[in-house]
Chain A
Amino acid sequence: MIESAILIPLVTIPFVVSLIALALPSNARNTEAWIAGITALGLFILTAMQYPAVDDGGAIRHNIEWVPQLGLNMTFRMDGFAWLFTMLITGIGFLVVIYARYYMSPEDPVPRFYAFLLAFMGSMLGVVNSGNLIQLVVFWELTSVFSFLLIGYWYHNAAARDGARMALTITALGGLCLLAGILLIGQVVGSYDLDTVLASGSMIRGHKLYVPILVLVLIGAFTKSAQFPFHVWLPNAMSAPTPVSAYLHSATMVKAGVFLMTRLWPVLAGTPEWFTIVGLAGMATLLLGAFFAIFQQDIKGLLAYSTISHLGLITLLLSLGSPLGLVAAIFHMANHATFKASLFMAAGIIDHEAGTRDMRKLGGLFSLMPVTATLAMVASAAMAGVPLLNGFLSKEMFFAEAIEHHADSILDTAAPYVAVLASAFAVTYSIRFIHGVFFGKIPADMPKHPHEPPFFMRLPAMLLVLICLVVGILPGQTIGGYLNSAAMAVLGPEMPEYSLSIWHGFNVPLLMSVLALVAGILLYGILKTYLATSEEGPPYFRELKGQRIFERVMVSVSWRWARLLESWLGTRRLQPQLRLLAFIALVAAVLAATRRGVPHPTLSLGNMDLLFTGLWAIGIICAIGAAYQAKYHRLYALILMGGAGLVTCISFIWLSAPDLALTQLVVEVVTTVLILLGLRWLPKRIEQNYDGVSLETRLRRGRDMLLAVGCGAGTAFLAYVVMVRQPPQTIADFFVENAYELGGGRNIVNVILVDFRGFDTFGEITVLGIVALTVFSLLRRFRPAPDNIDSPEQQLLQSRHTARSDESEEAETASIADEYLYMPSVIMQWLFPVIIVFAFYLFLRGHDAPGGGFVAGIAMAAAFILQYMAAGTRWVEERLRVLPVRWMGMGLLVAAATGLGAWVFGYPFLTSHAQYIELTLIGKVPAATALIFDFGIFSLVMGATVLMLIAIAHQSIRKLRAAKLPTAQENA
C-alpha cells in the first residue's frame, strides 16, 4: 500500500511545480528550465525504478476513496503499458524542456510556457495512470485544455489563436463523446473501475449498447489522435512553439487516442463493427496523411501530416484485432514518438537558424549545419522505414500483419496495397524533406545566415536519434523486455509468438519494403520540379480547405442557427414572455390535475373564524388595490402592498409561526423604505382619461384578467386541496424530537436554520451578500434620467423656505426632517439605542424562543436607516461610521470559521456543539456553537441590508450636489 502510493506524487508533482513555475518572474528563464527539467527527470527516474513491479503483467494500484457510494474513487494504476507511456512522457518531456530553454526567445514570457507544459505533463500522466474511467476522462479533458493554452501561447498571433480554438473545439467535443461512452460503459458494467471493465469485455460486446459505446469512445479517440475526418486540427496546431509541437503533437497528446484504443482493446476490439470503423478510419488517415505530407511546403506541416499518417498506421494495426497487430501498434507508438520528436526539434532548429520553415526558401543547409543535418537525416530514415532503424522494425511488423487474413472484408484485402502505397509516400516525403532542406543550392533569399545551434539545443535530438539507432540495431536487447511487459499488460498472459530482429530472411514483408523504397524514390524524382515551386497543399485537395469548412460549420452553429432560433422563438418584448410563462404554468397544472385526478375536497366552513375572515378581506382588498393603483399612484400601491404584507404577517402569528411573523414584519419595514427611496427616480405619470380606451386594449386587458384570475383560482384551489388533506409522515418529526437533544435549542425553526440545515443557511447568506454587493456596484455608476436630475418639487420648495427663514450656511445641507418633521425625527433618533437593544434581545433569545440572526440583523439595519431618515445622510455619516462591507465580510468569515471549527475536533463541516453554562448571578446560559454561527448570519444580514439601503439613499445627495449649481446662481 505504501509503495503503491508512489503513483500519487507521480501525477500531482507536475501540477504543483507548474504553480511554482507560474509564480516566478518572467525573465527567470534558467530557473524555470532547471525546475521543470529536474521535475521531469526526477519523475523519469522514479518511474524507471517502478519497473520490477510492472514486469510480467504486474500492476501497481492505489485507491483513494472519495464518494464510494457513487463508485467515484481516485484510482491510480500503473501496469507495463502505462509504464512505457509514463517513460515516454517524462523522458521526452525532459528533453523538450532542455530544448525549449534554447528555443524560446528572451522576450517570451517563459513562466507561462513552463507552467502549462508541466501541467500538461501532469494531465498526460493522469490519463495513462488512471484506474478509474471517469478520472481518465477528467485528465483527458485537461490535456485538451492545456494543449489549447500551449498552442495559443503566442496569443498575439491570429493563426495561433485560431489553431488553438480549433484544437480545443474538436478535441473537447471528442472528450464529451468519450465521457458519454464511458458513462454507458458504467451503465453496462456497473463500475467505472478499469480492472472491472477490462474483465467484462464479453459482457460489453454482447450488450445492445455496444455500438453506441463503441462509436462514442472512438469519436473521443479519433479526435484526439487526429484520425480522418477529425485530423484538421493537427496541421493548424503547428502555429504552437516548436517544443510544444514536438512534445504534444508528435510524442504524447496525439498518442492519447491510440493509448485509449489500446487500453480498451480487450473490451471493445474483435467485432466486425470495430474492424470496419477503426480499420476504415485508420486506412484513410494513413493514406491521406502520407499523400498530403508530400505536398506541404512548411516543414512542420509536412511533419504534422506525417504524424497523422503514422497515427493512422497505428489505428489500422489496432483495428485488425490480432494480438500481433497490437504488439506492433505499441512498438510503433514508442518508435514514432522518438523519431518524430527529434524531427520536430530539427525543424525548430532550422526555423531558428534560417528564419523560415518554407522548403521553397531553404536548401543546401548540410554544408552550414552538418550535425543537425545528419541527425535529421537519420531520423527521417527512421520515419521512412529504412533498415537498421527502429521505424523499419515496426513497419516490417505492420507489413507482416497487413498480408495476414483477418476478416472477409474488402478492407482486409486492400490492406497490403494501401500499406505499400502509404510507405512509398512516406519515403517520398522523407526524401523531399532531406533533399529540399539540406541539399541543392543555398537560395539567395534565405532570411538569415544559418549556423550550428548551441550544443545543448542539439543534445535532445541527438539522444533521441541515438535511441532510434540502438533500438533499430539491437531491438531484442533494448526495447524487447519492456515491449513484452507492455503488451502483456493489455493482452494478458496469452502472448503471441513474435521475434524482434532485423533479419527475418527473404519474405514478403521485406519485398514490400523494397518495393515501397523504390517506388518512393521514383515518385520523388517525378514530383521534384513540381514541388520546388508549387503552392502549399496537395493538388485538387488544396481547394478543399479543412479549416475553411470548420470555420463555416462553427459560424453556422454558433451564430447563424442561434440567430435563426432567436428570430423564430424569441421576442424582444418582456410582456408576451411573462404571459407565456404564466400560461404554460397554468396549462401544465391543469393538465397534471386532470390527468392524475385530484380528490374533490369537501368544503368545510366549520372552523371559520370571523376575525380571520375579516383580516383576509382586508388583505384581498389590499392586494387587488395594489394591482389597480400600481400604474398611476405608486405610493398608494406601495402602501396597499405593505397592507397585504402585514396581513400575511398577522396570519403567520395566528397560525403558530412567530419566527416568520417577526421576520416578515421587519422585512416589510425595510422593503417599504427601500422602494420609497427608489420612487423618486421614476417618471411622473398622470392618469389619463378612460374614454379613449380602444377596443383592442379592452380585449387585451380582458385576456390578461382571464389569465390572472385563472392563475389565482388555480393556486387557491391547489392550496385548499393540500391543506385539507391528512399530512403525510415527514422528517419534521425528527427535527421536533431532536432539536433539544442534538441542537441544544428549543426554537425548532432556529435550530433547523443554524444547526440541522446550517450548510443551506450558509449558502443563503452568501447569496444575500453577493446580491448586496451587486446592488452596491450597480448603483456606483447610476445615471438617472434627465427629468429626475432636479430635486423633487416638494424638496425644492422646502429648501427655499428654509433658506429664507434661516440665514445660516447649514440650512442648505439640513434635512427636510429638521423643519416640519421635527418631532418624529427626534423620536427616531432616540429610538436608535432602543432598537439596538431590541435587536440584541432578538438575537440572544433566538435559539430558545422566536428570534434569531436573520430578524435581529434586519432589525439592526432598520435602526441605522431610521437615523438616515431622521437626520439626513450627511449628518449621520459625520457622526457614525457604518462599514457594511466589513460587517458582511466578518459575518461570512465567522460563519465559515464556525463550520471549520468542527473539523478541528474531527467532525464534519458545521457540526455544532451545545451546552448550557452556569454563570454566577445570571444563571444558566445557552452556549451552543450554533450561536456563533447565528452571529455570522446576523452580521452578514445586517451588513447586506444596510449596504443596499445606504447605496440607494446616497443617490439623492449625489444628485443634489449636481443640481446645486443653478440654485446657487439663483440665490446670487
Chain B
Amino acid sequence: MELVLAIGIGALVGSGVWLLQRPRTFQLIVGLSLIGYGVNLFIFAMGRLRVNAAPVLSDGGPADPSAYADPIPQALVLTAIVIGFATTALFLVVLLAARGLTGSDHVDGREP
C-alpha cells in the first residue's frame, strides 16, 4: 500500500514538474494542480497510512490515540485543499488577463 501510494505521489509530482517547464500557461496551471495533489498526499502520508481508523471518536469517553489515524496532517491538508483552490482561481485569472493584454498564452507574455 505504501509503495503504491509513494509511486503515485512520484508520478503526480513528476508530471507536474514536467509541465512546469512547458511554455504555455495552461500547461502550468495543470502542472501546479498535479503537484498540489502530490504534495497534499505527501503531507497526508506523513501521518502514516491507516485503514478504517478515521479520526472520528466513536463515543464521548476517553480516547486511545493509537486507535485513530493522525488527525494533524489531515487538518493541515484540509485547509491546503481550499487554499489550493483559491490560488488556482487566482492563477487562472492572471493567466486570462495576461493572455488578453499580451495576446499570447506563453508564460513570458510573448512568443519566443
Which A residues contact B (CB, under 8 angstroms)?
Answer: 572-575, 578-579, 582, 603-605, 607-609, 612-613, 616, 619-620, 623-624, 626-627, 630-631, 634, 637-638, 641, 644-645, 647-648, 651-652, 654-660, 663-664, 667, 670-671, 674-675, 678, 681-683, 685, 704-705, 707-709, 711-720, 722-724, 727, 730-733, 735-737, 739-741, 746-749, 752-753, 757, 760-761, 764, 767-768, 771-772, 774-775, 778-779, 782-786, 788, 848-850, 854, 858, 941, 944-945, 948, 951-952
Contacts and interface: CB of A to CB of B under 8 A. Distances in A.
A767 B47 CA distance: 26
A778 B94 contact: yes
B45 A732 contact: no
A733 B64 CA distance: 8
A784 B93 CA distance: 11
A919 to B, nearest CB: 18
A48 B93 CA distance: 63
Q: Which 6 A-B pairs have the closest CB atoms?
A: A712-B14, A716-B10, A708-B18, A720-B6, A627-B15, A733-B65
B30 A626 contact: yes
Contacts of A705: 18
Interface string B56-77: 1111111111001111101101
B102 to A, nearest CB: 8
Given A659-B74, A682-B99, A712-B15, 17 more contacts: A604-B2, A616-B5, A623-B11, A630-B27, A631-B24, A644-B37, A655-B51, A656-B68, A678-B93, A712-B11, A720-B2, A746-B58, A767-B86, A768-B82, A774-B90, A779-B96, A786-B103
Given A681-B96, A711-B17, A736 B82 contact: no
B45 to A, nearest CB: 5
A708 B15 contact: yes
Contacts of A785: 99-100, 103
B30 A944 contact: no
Nearest to B25: A682
Nearest to A945: B85
A573 B23 CA distance: 10
Given A664-B81, A752-B75, A631 B5 contact: no
17 contacts: A575-B21, A613-B4, A623-B11, A627-B16, A655-B5, A660-B74, A674-B92, A704-B21, A715-B42, A720-B2, A737-B63, A739-B63, A768-B86, A779-B93, A785-B100, A948-B89, A952-B92
A711 B13 contact: yes
Contacts of A623: 11-12, 14-16, 34, 37
A361 B103 CA distance: 63
Contact of A667 (B24, B42, B68, B82): B82
Contacts of A657: 44, 54, 69, 74, 77
B62 A737 contact: yes
Contacts of A619: 8, 11-12
A730 to B, nearest CB: 7
A945 B83 CA distance: 11
A648 B41 contact: yes
A616 B93 contact: no
A850 B46 CA distance: 21
Nearest to B87: A771
B46 to A, nearest CB: 6
A35 B51 CA distance: 72
A627 B82 contact: no
Contacts of B46: 722
Contacts of A608: 1, 3-4
Query: Which of B12, B51, B64, B95 has the most C-beta atoms of chain A within 10 angstroms of its own C-beta?
Result: B12
A733 B69 CA distance: 10
A660 B89 contact: no
Contact of B41 (A651, A757, A775, A951): A651
A764 B10 contact: no
B2 A775 contact: no
A667 B19 contact: no
B45 A723 contact: yes
Contacts of B10: 712-717, 719
A660 B78 contact: yes
A854 B9 contact: no
Contacts of A707: 17, 21
B16 to A, nearest CB: 8
A613 B86 CA distance: 31
Contacts of B44: 652, 655, 657, 660
Contacts of A775: 89-90, 93
A732 B30 contact: no
Contacts of A667: 81-82, 84-85
Contacts of A720: 2-3, 6
Contacts of A736: 55, 57, 63-65, 68, 71
A782 B17 contact: no
Interface string B38-53: 1011101111111111
Contact of B55 (A711, A724, A748, A945): A748
A127 to B, nearest CB: 43
Residue of A627, A659, A707, A752 most packed against chain B (CB within 10 A) = A627
Given A657-B54, A849-B56, A764 B79 contact: yes
Interface string B93-112: 11111011101110110000
Contacts of B49: 655, 723
A338 to B, nearest CB: 60
A630 B69 contact: no
Nearest to A729: B65
Nearest to A948: B89
B20 to A, nearest CB: 5
Given A656-B55, A712-B13, A681 B81 contact: no
A582 B22 CA distance: 13
A692 B109 CA distance: 25
Nearest to B11: A620
A747 B75 CA distance: 11
B88 to A, nearest CB: 6
B97 to A, nearest CB: 6
A761 to B, nearest CB: 7
A564 B65 CA distance: 57
A838 to B, nearest CB: 18
Nearest to B52: A656
Nearest to A854: B82
A674 B29 CA distance: 12
Contact of B99 (A637, A652, A681): A681
B71 A783 contact: no
A652 B92 CA distance: 26
A655 B60 contact: no
A655 B49 CA distance: 6
A205 to B, nearest CB: 50
A648 B40 contact: yes
A850 B56 contact: yes
A658 B46 CA distance: 17
Contacts of B27: 630-631
Contacts of B69: 655-657
Nearest to A613: B4
A716 B65 contact: no
Contacts of A709: 14
Pick from A655, A727, A740, A948 the residue with the most CB of B within 10 Å: A655
Contacts of A681: 96, 99-100
A647 B60 CA distance: 33
Contacts of A771: 86-87, 89-90
A657 B56 CA distance: 9
Nearest to B61: A740
B82 A574 contact: no
